[in-house]
Structure 1
Amino acid sequence: MAALGNMQVVYFCPDYTVYEQALGLFLQINPNALLHRDVNEALMSPEEFEFKAGRSGMGTVLLSNPANPTGPSIERKNLEECVRIARDNETCIIMDEFYSHYYYDSTNVEPANGGADDNSNWPKTVSSAAYVDDVNADPIIIINGLTKNWRCPELWFCWIIAPEPIVEMLAAAGSFFDGGANAPPQKLSLPLMELDFIRKDTWALQRAFEKIRDYFLKDIRRLGVKVLHEPVFTFYV
């Protein structure tokens, strides 16, 4: 964040609670919460986002998609609209997609239940990359990594998809502060990037965590706890 220079960075509320504290560490960053008009809605509509983006002068928006910890996600037409709004208003969106594999309500049939076990049958995930027209022109920065979607908490490797100047700037900042990434573990992690492994591992991840979600929801409802937003992503309620 510090490498991006002086700017106002807004974050949705509710969203990942660490954002507020983390953004406050950077003297060049002016963090502001972006509140919903309707507090009963877990996600801000594209219409409201466009209204705020066009009038608040926000430079950058930091958000988790799927939303962490509330569990819903911006998808399909709504996600496409958010990318368009960012493009039209020259507002940068930093998309935190670390939980994008944790999806539970897909209509796709996994191989364990009779679905095809090949590249024609992929588990449901979400990414704004599908709506980026030109990676070097659209103001979208996508971040992902091995710690959550790949369930490798000790492999602190992440990557970004962004315009080339942003990638070069962050690479230079990383080399300056840390001397660059640790190459041997990176090489050992390459098999985790094989598409066949990703497909099978994501099916297994969704199967395991869907059972945990359903078990937890059943028990807390039995105790009389009302769940306002049943999560379809992540592993929080």
Structure 2
Amino acid sequence: MSDDVTIPAFRSVPRTGVIYVTTEATRRGYRSSDPDWCNLGQGQPETGELPGAPARLNTVTIDVADMEYAPVAGLWDIREAIAGLYNRLYRRGMPSQYSAENVCLSGGGRAALTRAAASLGSVNLGHFLPDYTAYEELLDVFKAFTAIPILLEGERGYNFTHEDLRREVQGRGLSALLFSNPCNPTGKLVQGDELARWVGVAREQECTLLIDEFYSHYIWTGRPGHLPVESAARYVEDVNRDPIVLFDGFTKNWRYPGWRMTWTVGPRQVIDTVASAGSFLDGGGSRPLQRAAIPLLQEDVVVAETQAIHATFREKRDRFHSRLERLGIRTDRAPDGTFYVWGNVSGLPAPLNDGMGFFRAALEEKIIAVPGEFFDVNPGKRRARPSRFRNYVRLSFGPSMEVLEKALGRLEALILRHSRG
């Protein structure tokens, strides 16, 4: 059947950046099981054993009770376990503590974000440029709120202070702000006292922060002597009053992306609302996987996994970033977090000096990258002019070191060939 066939009532739904590049690679023979391909586009970490990490959970027992639906908000026991973990990691000794009522489970990060978006009223919702590519369609499909873009400047290292936040909230009448922290794709992290000030501005200005914390255990600029994790949960005063809503899950920080198990943490009233949205959007997550995941939330397991991630991925981050810089792929800032390098390719020879040109040339070398224009979050394509990020690519150091070294060798040869060109 031809791709241009039109079926009544259905619109054309754009693919997110990762889905687009993976689809294009598949047309050229890419298979995830093919060791000859280097997938630097996929937003997932390597999922195998890491030195010092707890053994990978590779069997799930399905109980008779697991044949039934799970509650839309998730099983009570895992909600309690998640709340307890947040209290131990971020809220020791604080009078206001999270409980199971502050947690809602869902089947994947996009499901959690979709529930939240469906729960928003007729408000102005701010979002940053650049940011996570999947936000684009999410911010367009729900018509109750108005999406307001906020441009971050590479020349400033994508810095955005709490005073900038206050000015944007007041000037644009924002009732909510959606952003990833650390940022996918730039790796910029708001942390420590500055993140505390952001939470203070949200509280003072009555603006809800919707914070995607899926990379919050991939922190490269953390406090010495402390576990390399960060969350706005650390700076909340009252868990049921402060307008702070957090999204996380097993996808990145536990390295179980295939489980599609995520959660929302926030005020009890928000959790009730997003659970109600889930009742008509997706119906809830997998019951046997929720039950099987409870041991993964024990503090000693989380600490060991996080330390193993930090040791392995920090080495990959440093080597990958350094090699890309030497190849002429520059960065506005070294990543503070995530497992991505946001690379500026404008200094490379044509056609590699354009994100889409780089992507297409890399595909011929069996390397997958994501052009920067996909992170120019543009709901409804209201901004028609060329993307400010068309000279960028996002390159992942999520794969193993072996894959990264293979990809770097091919990129070096590709760039050299075009330089001689």
Partner Cα separation in structure 1 for residue 155 and residue 203 of structure 2: 27
1:125-169 CA-partner distances (Å, limit 9, x unpaired): 110011111111111111111111111111111112211111011
1-structure distance, mates of 2:238, 2:223: 30
Residue in 1 that maps onto 2:146: 30
Aligned residue runs from structure 1 range 76-225, under 5 A: 76-106=192-222, 108=224, 122-225=226-329
* Alpha carbons 2:228, 2:310 under 8 Å: kept: no
**Residue 112 (structure 1) aligns with:** none
- Distance in 2, Cα, partners of 1:126 & 1:106: 8
Deviation at 1:226, TM superposition (A): 2.4
Q: 1:222-237 maps to which residues of 2 (within 5 A)?
A: 222-237=326-341
CA distance in 2, matches of 1:108, 1:188: 33
Counterpart code for 1:126 = E
Matched, 1:51 2:155: no
The answer to whether the Cα contact below 8 Å between 1:20 and 1:31 also exists between their aligned partners in 2 is no
Distance in 1 separating the partners of 2:329 and 2:262: 36
Contact persistence 1:135–1:161 (CA under 8 A) = no
Count of aligned pairs between the two proteins: 225
Q: How far has the Cα of 1:176 moved from its partner?
A: 2.8
SS of the counterpart of 1:188? helix
User: 1:118: which partner in 2?
Assistant: none
Separation in 1, partners of 2:165, 2:281: 35
Alignment of 1:3-22 (within 5 A): 3-22=119-138
Cα drift, residue 180 of structure 1: 2.5
SS at match of 2:174: coil
List runs of 5+ in structure 1 lacking aligned partners: 110-121
**Any conservation in 2 of the 1:15–1:63 contact (CA below 8 Å)?**
yes
Matches of 2:212 and 2:303, distance apart in 1: 20
Instruction: Supply the distance in 1 between the matched residues of 2:209 and 2:236 (Cα, whole angstroms).
Output: 12
Paired-residue identity, % = 36
Matching residue of 1:114: none
- CA separation of 1:130/1:211 partners in 2, compared to 1, >3 Å: closer, same or farther? same
Give the aligned partner of residue 156 of structure 2: 40
What residue is the counterpart of 2:176 in the other structure? 60
Q: Rg: which structure is higher?
A: 2
Q: Output one character per residue of 1:202-233: Cα deviation in whole Å (capped at 9) or x when no partner.
A: 11111111121112112112213322210121
Secondary structure of the 1:71 match is: coil
Match of 2:379 in 1: none
Structure 2 length-normalised TM: 0.51
Ranked by relative contact order (alpha carbons within 8 Å, sequence separation 6 or more), the top structure is 2
Change (3 A) 1:226 1:179: closer
Supply the distance in 2 between the matched residues of 1:38 and 1:46 (Cα, whole angstroms).
18
Alignment check: 8 A CA contact 2:127 2:149 kept = yes
Instruction: Give the superposition deviation at 1:189.
Output: 0.8
Unaligned residue ranges in structure 2 (runs of 5+): 1-116, 342-421
Per-residue deviation, 1:39: 4.6
Find the aligned partners of 1:11 and 1:176 in 2 and give their Cα distance: 26
